[in-house]
Amino acid sequence: MSKTKLSTIKDLLGEDYVVPGTPLCAGCGALIILRLFHKVLGGRVVWVNAAGCVTLMMVYPFAPLKSSWMYTAMACAPAGAQGIRDALDILIEKGRIPIEEDLKVVVVTGDGAANDIGLQSTSGAIHRGLDFYYLCYDNEAFGNTGFQYSAATPYGSRTATSPPTPLIPEGYRGTKKDLFEIWRAHKPPYVATISPSHPMDVVRKIEKAEKYRGPKLFISLSPCQPGWLIDTMDAIKVAKLAVETGVWPLKEAVYGEVRHTFIPRRLKPVEEYLKIQGRFSHLFYPVKRDDVIAKIQSEVEEYWRAVYAREIGKEDAGIS
């Protein structure tokens, strides 16, 4: 499957495999990343999806995809992917379909399915070395059912089930599960984090992943307008800030070896990212919660100190 290399945005303006008219929210970050992912993978794809917002793209009798799609129960999209991969392999082996008609098997789920309900079936599939892609669009909550907290919800976020109250004024008290590290611990050929705000980073990562047989796993930050309480026009702006403040590192791991693909020269204060999102507004009003903001800032800095030390040899390189 040779393809010409995509080296600038202009190379990405060709055929689109997701047509307009989906029922997803105006300004949905998940749709931006899904469209881009599909563009880079090409049209010969079968998606396997567990319940979440993206499922709503398929509302009988409508489908926005030019490719194939199968819906599974929430816990078992990677098991569904195994079934399809096996079926394709057998059909090819028996000569029932030519090898050129092979499809890439791509699981797409939200963070709830990836971190909570579907984690064991993903672990099984990675462990078996299943040849598939996984795209987790991380909107940091159970979006489809009304934005309840998930294991991917960050500390301090308001969700439907972690509202700021007089007793718990900071909102969500837990911490975000480190799905990248959990997946990486299996030492799959490829695992990466991506963001819709950095399309060429996404392109380079998919192109790199394509060279490997086995699990190729992606976690994309996915700004969610009604859940994050942001303006419909701000999905990309928020995603950029997540990267520039260091809240959402862009990185990859090949067989477990980590490398950051974007290292901020100077981290912007996390406050810039938090303050434009309504889900964090209780940290700024009626009283500014400097303690909570400082805690978030120091966790980000702790992470980056290690990265700066390891990857550029100077621990406080980007920390003011």
Look at the chain and count its residues.
320
Q: Which is nearer to other proteins, 118 or 196 (CB)?
A: 196
Select the span of 137-145, 202-210, 293-301, 302-310 touching ligand TPP (CB under 6 A): 137-145
Contacting residues toward Mg ion, per CB under 5 A: 110-112, 139, 143
If one asks whether residue 199 binds other proteins (CB under 8 A), the answer comes out as yes
Pick what 73 binds: other proteins, ligand SF4, Mg ion, none; C-beta below 5 to 8 Å, kind-dependent: none
From residue 236 to residue 255, the character string flagging contacts with other proteins as x (rule: CB under 8 A) and all else as - is: xx------------------
Pick what 67 binds: ligand TPP, other proteins, Mg ion, none; C-beta below 5 to 8 Å, kind-dependent: other proteins
- Segment 133 to 172, residues that bind ligand SF4, using CB under 6 A: 139, 143
If one asks whether residue 55 binds ligand SF4 (CB under 6 A), the answer comes out as no
If one asks whether residue 236 binds ligand SF4 (CB under 6 A), the answer comes out as no
What strands lie across the sheet with 68-72, from one edge to the other?
A: 68-72, 45-50, 104-110, 132-138, 215-221, 190-194, 250-254, 257-262
Pick what 221 binds: ligand TPP, ligand SF4, Mg ion, none; C-beta below 5 to 8 Å, kind-dependent: none
From residue 116 to residue 155, the character string flagging contacts with other proteins as x (rule: CB under 8 A) and all else as - is: ----------------------------------------
**Residues in Cβ contact with 221 at an 8 Å cutoff, skipping those fewer than 6 apart:** 29, 138, 193, 194, 195, 196, 239, 242, 243, 248
91 phi and psi, to 5 degrees? -60, -40
Q: The tokens 């693909």 sit on which residue?
A: 261
What is the phi-psi region of residue 26: left when phi exceeds 0, alpha when psi lies from -120 to 50, beta otherwise? beta
Number of residues that bind other proteins (CB under 8 A): 52
What is the residue type of 156? Answer: G
- Segment 50 to 109, residues that bind ligand TPP, using CB under 6 A: 51-54, 74-75, 109
Select the span of 25-33, 60-68, 100-108, 163-171 touching ligand SF4 (CB under 6 A): 25-33
- Hey, CA dihedral for 231, 232, 233, 234, is it positive or negative? positive
Q: Which is nearer to ligand TPP, 33 or 292 (CB)?
A: 33
Q: Are 243 and 197 in contact (CB under 8 A)?
A: yes
If one asks whether residue 194 binds ligand SF4 (CB under 6 A), the answer comes out as no
From residue 213 to residue 232, the character string flagging contacts with ligand SF4 as x (rule: CB under 6 A) and all else as - is: -----------xxxx-----
Rg over alpha carbons for the chain, rounded to the nearest Å, is 20
Whole-angstrom Cα distance, residue 140 to residue 148? 9
**DSSP notation for 221-249:** E---HHHHT--GGGHHHHHHHHHHTTSS-
Among 53, 77, 84, 219, binds other proteins (CB under 8 A): 53
Among 58, 267, 270, 283, binds other proteins (CB under 8 A): 58
Q: 20-49 as b/e, with b when 16 or more CB fall inside 10 Å?
A: eebebbebbbbbbbbbbbbbbbeeebbbbb
Shortest Å, Cβ 54 to ligand TPP: 6
Shortest Å, Cβ 285 to ligand SF4: 23
Q: Which is nearer to ligand SF4, 35 or 187 (CB)?
A: 35
What is the token pair recorded at 120?
């064991």
Whole-angstrom Cα distance, residue 145 to residue 163? 16
